[in-house]
A and B are shown apart, each in its own frame.
Chain A
Amino acid sequence: MLEIKNLHASIDNTKILNGLDLSVNAGEVHAIMGPNGSGKSTLASVIAGREDYDVTDGEINFQGNELSDIGPDERAREGIFLAFQYPVEIPGVSTTNFMKTAVNQIRESKGEKPLDAVEFLKLMKEKMKLVNIKQELLSRSINEGFSGGEKKRNEIFQMAMLNPKLSILDETDSGLDIDALKIVSKGVNALKSKENATVVVTHYQRLLEYIVPDFVHVLMDGKIVKSGDKNLALELEEKGYDWIKVKN
């Protein structure tokens, strides 16, 4: 589904990714772990197509298409979803309105009829249950005055609404207490299927107790230095990132 080869990317002439390779197939859950500043969030942003980053070399293929000439909105419509580490506020725009605009624009791009108010509400009600989110929250300006937990739940709610093929969760566990973490993970697990894939970007092993990965990759200095199964995450937790540095 996702094939990244020798990816080099920089921001403001600072090199962040240095020849990264990653391969993700449908039905898989991948965890990307690494210390601060290793390039985890950059990887998430570059896959989503954020224009602040320059891709200087290498390629990203998504479902057989090379992404370099495709804008972020089109990537989203093709099925790439990014759950943001710091979701922004848009004053005066409710989550409901935001999602209605997104869902219908995606449908339109596929030649499908837009959902009317009744159909949309039905879809929303169904997805709200997944992350235990209240309608009152969705009627408020998106992310404005939301608690950390509400923001992350709102991200997963949006993921449920858009039903993406590839979901990238950027530090979704940061700022969450254990109850919120459970709710968010439950939502993510419920959305898992044979047709879609999930990439979890995280600092800590904690989240991976709830969202169990098939593969764990360690990102350091802009490339993947070690890959393994879920036990790698446990080993990292125990020994710290220095363990890998020393081994290298």
Chain B
Amino acid sequence: MSKDDKILKEFTSKEYEHGWSVDFDVDQAPKGLNEDIVKLISKKKNEPKWLLDWRLEAFSNFKKIKEPNWSNLKIPKIDYQDISYYSAPKKKKMLKSMDEVDPELIKTFEKLGISLQEQKRLSGVAVDAVIDSVSIGTTFKDKLSELGIIFCSFSEAVNEHPDLIRKHLGKVVPTKDNYFACLNSAVFSDGSFCYIPKGVRCPMELSTYFRINASNTGQFERTLIVADEGSYVSYLEGCTAPMRDENQLHAAVVEIHAEKDAEVKYSTVQNWYPGDKNGKGGIYNFVTKRGICNGNNSKISWTQVETGSAITWKYPSCILKGDNSVGEFYSVAVTNNYQQADTGTKMIHIGKNTRSKIISKGISAGHSHNSYRGHVKVMRRANNSRNFSQCDSLLLGNKCGAHTFPYIDIENKSSMVEHEATTSKIGEDQIFYCLQRGIDEENAIALIVNGYAKEVLKQLPMEFSVEAQKLLSLTLEGSVG
């Protein structure tokens, strides 16, 4: 037993002395954040020592870093000691029939066009065995494993594919990254892992939705996607249905590796609880998403539709290391009532002939504030690199705000960066034109807003895109008039 191990053992056995973390059946850790909690989480998950060390390193960094204050957000003080960082995956309470579901929720489901079976599944009503998602999930998994694709929960991957995890975890978002990423690295509960082997084109959209045991991945989710040489995968995160969660703080991390000639398309629809009309409640969503185009000719494309959360702090980024690699960022961020969003991307051009494209569409209504923040950096050796950024803001009403913060850093003379930005209001003329054709005001706004966001929405997989369109309209319901 090495010296480290000894100390570790001492520490872990110490926990027992205190008594509060002894019982492995305990569902929830006590509130508070300290090294013992980090150890407890790791232990509960039966993790190897290297992972515990990795978590502890992240935690020690977390203690040294200050909470970021550069965003254009008003973030209420968060008491990190008042949060419980571990709770065992709980079984949701099953409801007997749709009659027990909140009628408001059913109304929203109907507007989104979600089927009755699906509504039951989402709201926790027992579902018929025939369409049980587990069985769908199983067939799905068989098909993937034939191709050598790994798609499982993060915990499962730690046990079954430790080499892959160890090789890639923390390589894009290291343990000394930003404040929220450090927090996630120290205390993440679970998440998803996905590996696409060399030359394999994943035949279906991978969605966490289909993954068995995907529910309750909790507030500190960790996702790792590795696309080996020449592979392709399209990954979907989230769900257009309203997501209810009692945890106020969410700090997820997503890391993507794209090797030579590989392509990863990552699409998100975020619809967490945004708080009520007066800005009370709602999720604080502090996410770190980053991908590296490691090999030549690789490509990473982020598409996001952000409609939920009280506060969104999120910058899906691409490190374009391989020559000729491509990074893309397509975003629609909608804020209404008192929601705040500070979102954008970073494109770091390192390799030669690297290209990046940023299309950001912000829509603000009510009293909300919506900021685009983007950083385009072209390093010294990134010859002939190109970036094109377009950041548009659309305002509904006169109490909301739209802001654009582009940072551009170019160290290479042969490269070219273009930035376009517009701010507009929905014109009364446009609305009257729609009204005069018999379209009511709500549909008119939906039509105009969806037209405005079309360039981004068309990047989403088909079914997702249709739902996202409905979601946009729903988020803006009642915002004009």
Contacts and interface: CB of A to CB of B under 8 A. Distances in A.
Interface of A: 48-52, 71-73, 76-77, 81-82, 84, 87-88, 90-93, 97-99, 101-102, 105-106, 109, 141, 158, 162
B64 to A, nearest CB: 47
B451 A93 contact: yes
B298 to A, nearest CB: 31
B433 A84 contact: yes
Contacts of B433: 84, 87-88, 90
Interface string B426-444: 0111101111111111010
A88 B439 contact: no
Contacts of B251: none
Given A84-B433, A88-B429, A73 B439 contact: yes
B455 interface: yes
A92 B443 CA distance: 15
18 contacts: A50-B432, A73-B441, A81-B436, A88-B427, A90-B433, A90-B448, A91-B452, A92-B450, A92-B451, A92-B452, A98-B437, A101-B447, A102-B437, A102-B439, A105-B439, A105-B440, A106-B438, A109-B438
Contact of A141 (B427, B435, B436, B451): B451
Nearest to A80: B436
Interface in B404-442: 427-430, 432-441
The residue among B428, B432, B438, B455 with the most chain A CB atoms within 10 A of its own CB is B438
Contacts of A158: 437
A179 B17 CA distance: 94
Contacts of A101: 439, 443, 447
Contacts of B350: none
Contacts of B143: none
B440 A90 contact: no
Interface residues of B, number: 23
B436 A72 contact: yes
A54 B439 CA distance: 22
A77 B454 contact: no
Contacts of B333: none
A76 B447 contact: no
B438 A162 contact: yes
The residue among B430, B451, B452 with the most chain A CB atoms within 10 A of its own CB is B451
B443 A91 contact: no
Contacts of B454: 92
Contact of A93 (B427, B428, B448): B448
Given A88-B427, A92-B453, A102-B439, A72 B448 contact: no
B466 to A, nearest CB: 13
B427 A82 contact: no
A153 to B, nearest CB: 16
A243 B480 CA distance: 48
B435 A73 contact: yes
Contact of A48 (B434, B436, B453): B436
Contacts of A87: 433
Nearest to A143: B433
A6 B440 CA distance: 29
A84 B433 CA distance: 8
Contacts of A49: 435
A84 B447 CA distance: 19
Contacts of A76: 435-438
A87 B427 CA distance: 13
Contacts of A77: 438
Contacts of B455: 92
Given A72-B435, A76-B438, 10 more contacts: A72-B436, A73-B436, A76-B437, A90-B430, A91-B451, A92-B450, A98-B437, A105-B438, A105-B440, A158-B437
Contacts of B447: 90, 93, 97-98, 101
The residue among B437, B441, B443, B454 with the most chain A CB atoms within 10 A of its own CB is B437
A50 B450 CA distance: 24
A84 B435 CA distance: 13
A88 B430 contact: yes
Contacts of B452: 91-92
A81 B441 CA distance: 17
Contact of B443 (A90, A105, A162): A105
A97 B427 CA distance: 19
A48 B450 CA distance: 26
